């Protein structure tokens, strides 16, 4: 030992020895270490030690071994990272692990390499992946604060993907090669983690579209996918960003798309209507290369599509379509970014069929005048979504569509091209400009189609509240905006909704075809002032209140400002217009221009019927037949229009309270009727219609004026009548529903022809009126019957009247009065002429002139048809208290020619009082004549004549009267005496004891009269006027103070005195005298004391009988009686017998 120590080894040997010693030591150490490691790997101590060193990680294995330090081969390896937000778990059948042992010292688990076979489970958070495959990872870091991997390669077959207990995909074939930059799992599985991932992934299997695509649609609440099918994917990632060429595709036999309408315009998910479209299809997500960055696109295509409404649920599909597609451009391919709504998207429906178009009505834009009710239609549509805004087009067409277009129910063809130029929910803006509508349909019960072609060049709207809120509200959306419509319409009934219910359902209805232009502005969903609708039509017509107007022209509707909201004014301008009324086809008027204006105070449908005013105006017009217009005059109107043409102008206003306005009528050669008296002439009529009720119950024409120029033989004979109706009020003027008309008339004016009143006067009495004057009338009529208090007065400077066969002329007044009990009123017509001239009817010579003439006719009731009144009820009284006969010779025409009686001259005064009752008459007349010249036979007399005629029981048909009581007296008569000298102071008096007088020209008389004379000189001269013994016999036959009786027959050509008996101063005279052709014939017997004689006068000669003159006279009487029996009876003998029989026996 001491020797070895004393030796000093060399340095080289020393190094070799050291190396020899170290190498076995190291090898032994390694072997011991590996032995210890393998022993530890198969004991629980190693796993417990790891749990203690790495409390955030649990690593377990069933068995393991190691051939090299840090390199382990483990069986049934599980690695679980305990993180509250993002727990990780890996379970494999076998794994080769290279562990960074130094990391365990610092409590960090780092696997430089992990090769796993038989992957049983890979879980990250709630997701887990199961299947058969291999996993290879390098740089796998499982520290508490950090998790990551330099590379991660996973190959899996027959795998399945779960979230909790929900199977997301199965039958997966997966090949993924990823790298994960270490990250802190504490916050959980955040999208920011994906920014740490790069690599590629390829997979195929079966999956649910909800799982695959909806995570990318979370920011797109209006769109979700549903359905399952075959899934394929090829993804390439770089720092969480999908690179171009990446794609995910799901093909499914039953793929569904759900659209939420409200969410599409920005409302919250879950509100609004949900539509589900299902069919065979494909959904794909593809990243395409862009100019600067890659852009992902989501495409969904469905075939044989059925579209159902889910909320609210409706039976049957809303539509079926051959193809439906959605193409959406997503905002970013960066998986680490939160989902965002697509930048743009397009939805397309191709060859769709809508089984019930009524379900599309609520999808039509607000303000469109179209409602769909029933029918099947075709639909092609697309809708673009871009940056929160929508645009698109829809083409809807069908053949048998039941619809309401502009308030008209129609069935027919429909073509709607809706152009959604813009829908911006954020700006609350809607633009439908460019939309168009074509309809060719008919109304129910009509054959003519309604053709409407409309385009909407401008249809821009805004909403005061966001569309996201307004969509959720019930009721119409309150829009502000502008609408311009251009097109062709064949029916204008779209305006009837505001007009037809007015006037108790008899409001305004329009019809016609033409070019339409509309410019309307809306505020809060209502049209505002300034809007305008114009229709230019070649054929235009309207009906209102039983009127029918038609022509060509234009229709203009304007919106106006009003205190209670927007109002409207509709102007209808008709050129070459015709206006009719009722069922008649004959025009009331034809006008070159007819204006009809409708003013609507409110546009609310339920209130418009009571707030409409119509104004009808025609500046000039022609009335082809005034009789058509006259049919609409009240039944109680005194004026009737019968025929002829006229010109007219007027304006009428109709509202809920009634009608008012002004109508003027002017015409030449018109046939009219005034109080049922037909006249012809020029008429000027002005009718101020102050008020007329719509039901025809009340009519007020107060203030009406008319001028009637009645035609005559020449211009000078034209008569003018002017009337002013100060009051003209009619109640129930047309007698509707059995109501009795009531009329109130107050008239003033001038009347040139009073003949129109003849219709009111009794024809039986021959009463007529002629003349002109100032008329005043105050009439209260019930039906056609004036009521008590009614009166008519005419004051005239020239007035003529007739009664019986006479006529009177003068100045005065005529008054017609209705008096008595209202239940049975009577009528009285009074004619007063302060100064009058009287003559025979139709004659030019006046018989007399007088004062205070009065004619009064009384009827039991006033009527324009007196013939309906019984004749016996008519009474006329004629009074002439003062009259003067300038020349009594005028009455000579009443004396029969050849009867030997003549009135030669002299003046007279006369009074008369005549009463006509039905066909009967009675009266009294007094005539006083002085210095009157008259002739009896050949005797000319002058003296005073007094006649007191008492006429009773007159017959107006024969003009015969009972004249009993009549007295004729001659006084102060001068006559030619027996010796040819004039004798004065003669007098005579004739009293008709009985008799019948026929007052005709010439008159006839059959009477028994009493005679009283101063003497018989007149008779003696008459009998002896042509005999040579006249002086001697006349003196003999002249006896004073005689009286007697005689029968008188005064006929057309003779005067017959029969049964003449005179007595006085020893005189008895019997005679039968006949004066004819101014020749006296007859027989006479006279007894003068003891002297008796008979005298026969014949053919101008005489036969004096002195032998038995009385027997001779009796024989002549007997012979004459027998001859009268054998002679034929005279005409009129029956009437004469009846008259005598009915006469007073006196």
Domain map (residue ranges) of the chain: 13-189, 190-355, 625-747, 753-885, 937-1126
User: Higher-confidence residue: 107 or 517?
Assistant: 517
Pick the more confident residue, 76 or 1128.
76
Q: What is the spatial distance between Cα 120 and Cα 62, in angstroms, rounded to a whole number?
A: 14
Judged by average pLDDT, the poorest of 227-231, 277-281, 768-772, 965-969 is 768-772
The DSSP symbol for 893 reads G
pTM as predicted: 0.62
pLDDT at 158: 85
pLDDT at 1132 (0 to 100): 45
Q: Is the pLDDT of residue 937 over 90?
A: no
**Residue 1 pLDDT level (bands cut at 50, 70, 90):** very low
Of the candidates 67, 70, 89, 77, the residue with the CA atom closest to the CA atom of residue 185: 89
SS3 471: coil
CB 131 within 8 A of CB 43: no
Cβ 267 vs Cβ 471: under 8 Å: yes
pLDDT at 236 over 90: no
Q: Which pLDDT score, from 0 to 100, does residue 301 have?
A: 94
Give the residue with greater pLDDT, 307 vs 474.
307
Specify the range with the lowest mean pLDDT, choosing from 148-157, 218-227, 650-659, 707-716: 707-716
Q: What pLDDT score does 1031 carry? A: 63
pLDDT at 713: 44
Report the pLDDT value the prediction gives residue 715, as an integer from 0 to 100.
42
Give the model confidence (pLDDT) of 1056-1082 as tens digits: 989 999 998 888 889 998 888 777 888
pLDDT tens sequence across 763-806 = 777 888 888 888 898 988 888 778 888 888 888 888 888 888 88
Integer CA distances (angstroms), 954 to 920, 924, 950, in order: 5, 12, 11
In DSSP terms, which residues pair with 541 in a beta bridge? 511, 550
Residue 1130 has pLDDT above 70, yes or no: no
Kindly state the average pLDDT of the residues 484-490: 87
- Beta strands per DSSP E along 675-712: 677-692, 698-700, 704-710
Residue 936 has pLDDT above 80, yes or no: yes
Classified as helix, coil or strand, 675 is coil
H or E element in which residue 14 lies: helix 11-41
- pLDDT recorded at residue 190: 62
**Whole-number pLDDT of residue 749:** 87
Cα dihedral 14/15/18/20 (nearest 10): -110
Taking only the tens place, the pLDDT of each residue in 828-871 is 888 898 998 888 887 788 888 889 999 898 888 766 667 777 88
pLDDT of residue 1046: 93
What integer best gives the mean pLDDT of the chain?
81
pLDDT band, very low/low/confident/very high, at 410 (cuts 50, 70, 90) = confident
Task: State the Cα–Cα distance between residues 896 and 907, nearest whole angstrom.
Answer: 21
% of the chain surpassing 70 pLDDT: 86
State both tokens at 287. 């990243």
- pLDDT of amino acid 716: 44
> Would you place residue 477 in the very low, low, confident or very high pLDDT band (cuts 50, 70, 90)?
low
Confidence of residue 394 (pLDDT cuts 50, 70, 90): very high
Query: According to the model, what pLDDT value does residue 560 have?
Result: 81
Indicate the pLDDT class of residue 393, thresholds 50, 70 and 90.
very high
Could you read off the pLDDT of 303-338 as tens digits, one per residue? 999 998 887 777 788 899 999 999 988 887 777 777
Q: What is the reported pLDDT for 429?
A: 85
Q: What is the DSSP letter of 1146?
A: -
- Mean pLDDT check: name the lowest of 70-74, 353-357, 674-678, 722-726: 674-678
- Range scoring the smallest mean pLDDT among 97-111, 410-424, 667-681, 790-804: 97-111
User: 301: which residues sit within 8 A by CB, 6+ positions away?
Assistant: 281, 282, 283, 323, 324, 325
Helices (H), 299-344: none
Mean pLDDT of 77-95: 83
Q: Which two tokens stand for residue 1053?
A: 């050509």
Q: Residue 466: pLDDT band by 50, 70, 90 thresholds?
A: low
Rounded CA-CA distance 833/1095 in Å is 55
What integer pLDDT is reported at residue 1144 of this predicted model? Answer: 38
**Confidence check: pLDDT of 977 > 60:** no
Distance CA 806, CA 111 (A): 154
Judge if the upstream peptide bond of residue 312 is cis by omega within 30 degrees of 0. yes
- What are φ and ψ of residue 1026, in 5° steps? -120, 25
Separation CA 198–CA 215 (nearest Å): 20
Longest CA–CA span in the chain (Å) reads 261
Q: Flag whether pLDDT at 352 surpasses 70.
A: yes
> SS3 for 778?
strand
Q: Is pLDDT of 98 > 50?
A: yes
Query: Do residues 354 and 377 lie in contact, with contact meaning Cβ atoms separated by under 8 Å?
Result: yes
**473-493 per-residue burial string, b: 16 or more CB within 10 A, e: under 16:** eeeebbbbbebebbbebbbbb
Residue 692 CB partners (closer than 8 Å, separation 6+): 658, 659, 660, 698, 699, 700
Q: State residue 161's pLDDT score.
A: 84
Which pLDDT score, from 0 to 100, does residue 987 have?
93
The confidence band for 495, taking pLDDT boundaries of 50, 70 and 90, is low
| DSSP string covering 902-925 | EEEEEEEEEEEEEEEETTEEEEEE
Tracing tokens 């109640």 back to the chain, one arrives at 731
pLDDT at residue 848 in the model:
87
Predicted local confidence at residue 505, as pLDDT: 56
**Whole-number pLDDT of residue 278:** 92
Pairwise CA distance, residues 138 & 3, whole Å:
59
Averaged pLDDT, 581-586: 76
Mean local confidence (pLDDT), 1003-1009: 91
* CA atoms in the 13 A half-sphere facing the CB of 495: 32
| Residue 692 main-chain phi, psi, to 5 deg | -145, 130
Q: Looking at residue 928, what is its pLDDT? A: 93
Query: Rounded to an integer, what is the distance from CA 1089 to the centroid of its chain?
Result: 110
% of the chain surpassing 90 pLDDT: 15
**Contact predicate 578/687, CB 8 Å:** no
Q: Check residue 503 and give its pLDDT.
A: 60
pLDDT of 1096 above 90: no
Residues 527-582 have pLDDT tens digits of: 778 888 888 888 888 887 788 888 898 888 888 877 666 677 888 899 999 988 87
> Looking at residue 670, what is its pLDDT?
84
Quick one: tokens of 289? 């290369």
């Amino acid at each position: 030992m001491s020797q070895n120590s004393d030796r000093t080894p060399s340095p080289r040997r020393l190094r070799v020895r050291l190396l020899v010693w170290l190498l076995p030591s190291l090898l032994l150490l390694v072997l011991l270490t590996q032995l210890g490691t393998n022993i530890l790997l198969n004991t629980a101590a190693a796993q417990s030690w790891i749990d203690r060193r790495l409390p955030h990680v649990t690593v377990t294995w069933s068995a393991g071994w190691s051939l090299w330090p840090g390199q382990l081969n483990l069986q049934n390896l599980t690695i679980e990272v305990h993180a509250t937000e993002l727990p990780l778990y890996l379970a494999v059948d076998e794994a080769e692990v290279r562990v960074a042992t130094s990391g365990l010292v610092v409590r960090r688990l780092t696997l430089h390499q992990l090769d796993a076979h038989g992957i049983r489970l890979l879980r990250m958070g709630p997701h887990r992946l199961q299947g058969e495959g291999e996993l290879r990872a390098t740089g796998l870091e499982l520290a508490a604060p950090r998790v990551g991997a330099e590379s991660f390669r996973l190959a899996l077959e027959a795998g399945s993907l779960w979230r909790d207990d929900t199977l997301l995909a199965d039958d997966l074939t997966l090949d993924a090669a990823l790298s994960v930059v270490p990250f802190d799992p504490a916050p959980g599985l955040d999208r920011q983690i994906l920014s740490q991932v790069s690599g590629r992934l390829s997979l195929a299997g079966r999956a649910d579209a909800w799982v695959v695509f909806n995570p990318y649609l979370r920011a797109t609440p209006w769109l979700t996918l549903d359905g399952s099918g075959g899934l394929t994917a090829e993804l390439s990632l770089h720092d969480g960003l999908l690179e171009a060429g990446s794609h995910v595709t799901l093909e499914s036999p039953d793929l569904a798309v759900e659209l939420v309408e409200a969410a599409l315009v920005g409302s919250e998910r879950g509100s609004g209507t949900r539509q589900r479209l299902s069919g065979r299809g494909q959904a794909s997500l593809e990243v395409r290369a862009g100019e600067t960055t890659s852009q992902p696109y989501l495409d969904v295509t469905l075939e044989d599509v059925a579209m159902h409404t889910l909320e609210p649920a409706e039976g049957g599909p809303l539509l079926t379509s051959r193809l439906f597609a959605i193409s959406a451009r997503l905002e970013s391919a960066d998986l680490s970014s939160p989902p965002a709504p697509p930048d743009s998207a397009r939805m397309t429906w191709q060859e769709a069929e809508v089984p019930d178009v009524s379900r599309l009505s609520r999808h039509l834009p607000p303000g469109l005048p179209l409602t769909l009710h029933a029918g099947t239609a075709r639909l092609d549509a697309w809708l673009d979504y871009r940056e929160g805004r929508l645009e698109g087009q829809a083409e809807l067409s069908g053949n048998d569509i039941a619809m309401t277009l502009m308030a008209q129910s129609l069935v027919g063809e429909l073509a709607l091209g809706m152009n959604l130029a813009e829908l911006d929910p954020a700006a609350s803006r809607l633009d439908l400009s460019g939309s168009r509508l074509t309809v060719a349909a008919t109304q129910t019960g009509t054959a003519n189609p309604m053709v409407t072609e409309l385009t909407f060049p401008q249809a821009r709207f805004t909403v005061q509240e966001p569309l996201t809120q307004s969509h959720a509200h019930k009721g119409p959306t309150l829009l502000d905006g502008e609408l311009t419509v251009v097109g062709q319409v064949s029916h204008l009934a779209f305006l009837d909704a505001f007009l037809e219910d007015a006037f108790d359902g008899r409001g305004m209805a329009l019809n016609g075809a033409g070019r339409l232009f509309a410019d309307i502005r809306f505020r809060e969903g209502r049209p505002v002032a300034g809007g305008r609708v114009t229709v230019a039509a070649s054929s235009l017509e309207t009906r209102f209140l039983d009127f029918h107007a038609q022509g060509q022209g234009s229709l203009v509707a304007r919106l106006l400002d009003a205190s209670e909201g927007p109002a409207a004014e509709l102007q209808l301008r008709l050129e070459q217009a015709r206006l009719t009324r009722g069922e008649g086809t004959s025009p009331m008027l034809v006008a070159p221009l007819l204006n009809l204006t409708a003013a609507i105070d409110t546009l609310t449908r339920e209130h418009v019927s009571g707030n409409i005013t119509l104004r009808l105006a025609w500046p000039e017009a022609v009335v082809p037949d005034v009789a058509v217009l006259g049919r609409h005059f009240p039944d109680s109107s005194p004026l009737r229009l019968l025929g002829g043409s006229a010109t007219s102008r007027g304006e009428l206003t109709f509202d809920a309270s009634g009608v008012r306005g002004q109508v003027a009528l002017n015409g030449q050669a018109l046939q009219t009727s005034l109080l049922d008296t037909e006249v012809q002439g020029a008429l000027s009529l002005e009718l101020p219609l102050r008020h007329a009720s719509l039901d025809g119950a009340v009519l007020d024409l107060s203030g009406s004026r008319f001028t009637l120029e009645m035609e005559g033989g020449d211009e000078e004979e034209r008569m003018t009548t002017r009337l002013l109706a100060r009051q003209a009020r009619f109640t129930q003027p047309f007698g509707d529903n059995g109501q009795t008309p009531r009329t109130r008339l107050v008239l003033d004016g001038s009347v040139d022809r009073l003949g129109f009143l003849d219709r009111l006067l009794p024809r039986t009495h021959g009463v007529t009126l002629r003349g002109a004057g100032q008329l005043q009338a105050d009439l209260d009529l019930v039906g056609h019957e004036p009521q008590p208090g009614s009166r008519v007065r005419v004051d005239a400077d020239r007035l003529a009247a007739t009664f019986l066969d006479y006529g009177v002329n003068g100045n005065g007044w005529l008054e017609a009065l209705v008096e008595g009990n209202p239940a049975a009123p009577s009528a009285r017509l009074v004619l007063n002429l302060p100064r009058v001239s009287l003559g025979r009817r139709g004659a030019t010579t006046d018989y007399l002139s007088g004062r205070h003439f009065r004619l009064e006719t009384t009827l039991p009731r006033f009527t324009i048809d007196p013939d309906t009144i019984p004749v016996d009820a008519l009474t006329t009284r004629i009074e002439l208290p003062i009259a003067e006969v300038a020349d009594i010779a005028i009455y000579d025409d009443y004396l029969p020619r050849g009867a030997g009686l003549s009135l030669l001259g002299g003046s007279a005064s006369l009074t008369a009082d005549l009463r006509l009752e039905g066909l009967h008459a009675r009266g009294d007349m007094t005539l006083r004549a002085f210095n009157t010249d008259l002739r009896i036979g050949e005797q000319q007399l002058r003296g005073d004549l007094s006649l007191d005629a008492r006429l009773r029981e007159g017959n107006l048909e024969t003009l015969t009267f009972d004249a009993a009581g009549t007295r004729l007296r001659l006084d102060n008569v001068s006559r030619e005496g027996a010796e040819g000298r004039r004798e004065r102071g003669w007098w005579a008096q004739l009293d008709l004891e009985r008799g019948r007088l026929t007052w005709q020209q010439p008159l006839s008389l059959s009477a028994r009269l009493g005679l009283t004379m101063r003497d018989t000189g007149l008779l003696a001269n008459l009998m002896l006027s042509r005999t040579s013994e006249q002086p001697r016999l006349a003196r003999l036959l002249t006896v004073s103070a005689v009286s007697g009786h005689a029968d008188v027959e005064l006929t057309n050509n003779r005067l017959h005195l029969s049964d003449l008996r005179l007595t006085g101063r020893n005189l008895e005279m019997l005679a039968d005298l006949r004066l004819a052709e101014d020749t006296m014939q007859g027989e006479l017997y006279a007894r003068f004391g003891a002297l008796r004689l008979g005298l026969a006068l014949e053919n101008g000669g005489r036969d004096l009988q002195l032998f038995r003159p009385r027997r001779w006279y009796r024989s002549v009487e007997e012979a004459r009686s027998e001859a009268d029996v054998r002679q034929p009876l005279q005409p009129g003998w029956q009437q004469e017998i009846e008259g005598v029989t009915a006469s007073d026996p006196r």
